[in-house]
Structure 1
């Protein structure tokens, strides 16, 4: 097992190139947010925007769209039951998140089928929340598993892997990951990243994070980082990029928890631009030192 260190942030988060535009920093599509669980997709979308994604679109329930426009005016929005519009967005997105607040309805299953069927070999797919439970119920397949990131907590991992919580040992978890072929971000008080016989463990985490919407925020950060830092200008591999997203999520929470009883997901998102600036400057200084 390898423990993740703060160095991953300095490695991945880089100063933005002078000659850049919105498209430089990723086209991300987030799909989720039923009428009952609209807050989840709003939190994921906010995290994605605040973590720096260039162009963010949210496909959600019609009843959620006005709230989303107020909460995250930087994001575009479409109705996720409009499959023509959703198909067009899926064709152009470089990263797709599906699941936050999606629910497990028949409509949600149809949406998940469409998202999975539309994934292309150059597109990252983050499967979160209720989409994990739907997938674990069977009837779904991955076209490009090496481009897929699942973000389950222990109970969702049980549904996805078939491993009861008491059976979720390192050996069993890695075997289940290899069977799926996708990268697993197994959320807990010390989140683990499972990939090709390797476990990376996040040493950070605080009970101040034990609040609704924390996982939705993480999914949005992961997608935003993938949209930016796996580009040619940044050149990071997707494992390092996901690892950095997981680490900064908890890093921000610990910063907030130093003076607050609860680290709210919205406050984590709002702290990200400041933290990313800090680590991008450390990256710049490290490169300058290396060149001297």
Structure 2
């Protein structure tokens, strides 16, 4: 009875974070958040089966013809497919490898099976979840570290919004109004009044170069369900789970942009990834003022949040002889 009670409690906690009845018009995986298109019909498997049976009723076995268009298309087709004769076929690379390993009778047969790459993506770069996690600090190690005295008194700060979102601590059962005020206070206290904040965009996740990383985090990090919130509401879950949901994060950024605008803090948002916009904005302002870019130190990005972990680099440090 004790074990059953614990299992039920775990199940209830999981469903509290993954709404089993989302208000969407398309099929969606409540675990991963992947949304299917009009071609996905696995939720209508019974109807598809009955329709196929009606087509072969009264026919002899020799006259039965089953079309690929009558097959059930699973949700897996949205993330894992291969193109065969102009048709997209859902493929699970791990399951495919297991089947080949089991069916092969002789060791020499494996070479024949692997003459063609049947997986929809190279397994050295991807796994069954998505793109494998890389060590982004490897790029950081390519640069020689130097110690600079940065003149922050007359500097204009270009702040990465993604970095800023994780700098402020959200207290338990705190209202969104207080959290927004905290962000304003944090910017004023650390960077003054000459500030430009730039956020990533989430309008089209398919074209976002960080889409693979966002999907990986969605499967490895516990994410909250979609939350419809306003400033007077309290945060229903932890900041990490709340921001792991792309829809919640996008709505919170929209609310934060409005708050910064009312406080005379300049805000910009890119259509997708903001890195290029950050550099372009810094170059524009560098012509008239001393400019400093503030971003997360890639070497420390996965460590605990603390206020000493900030990378501030003056723009002229990146200037070349050209």
Task: Normalising by structure 2, report the TM-score.
Answer: 0.26
Which structure's CA Rg is the greater one?
Answer: 2
1 or 2, which has the higher helix percentage?
1
Bigger RCO of structures 1 and 2 (CA < 8 A, at least 6 apart): 1
TM-score by length of 1: 0.28
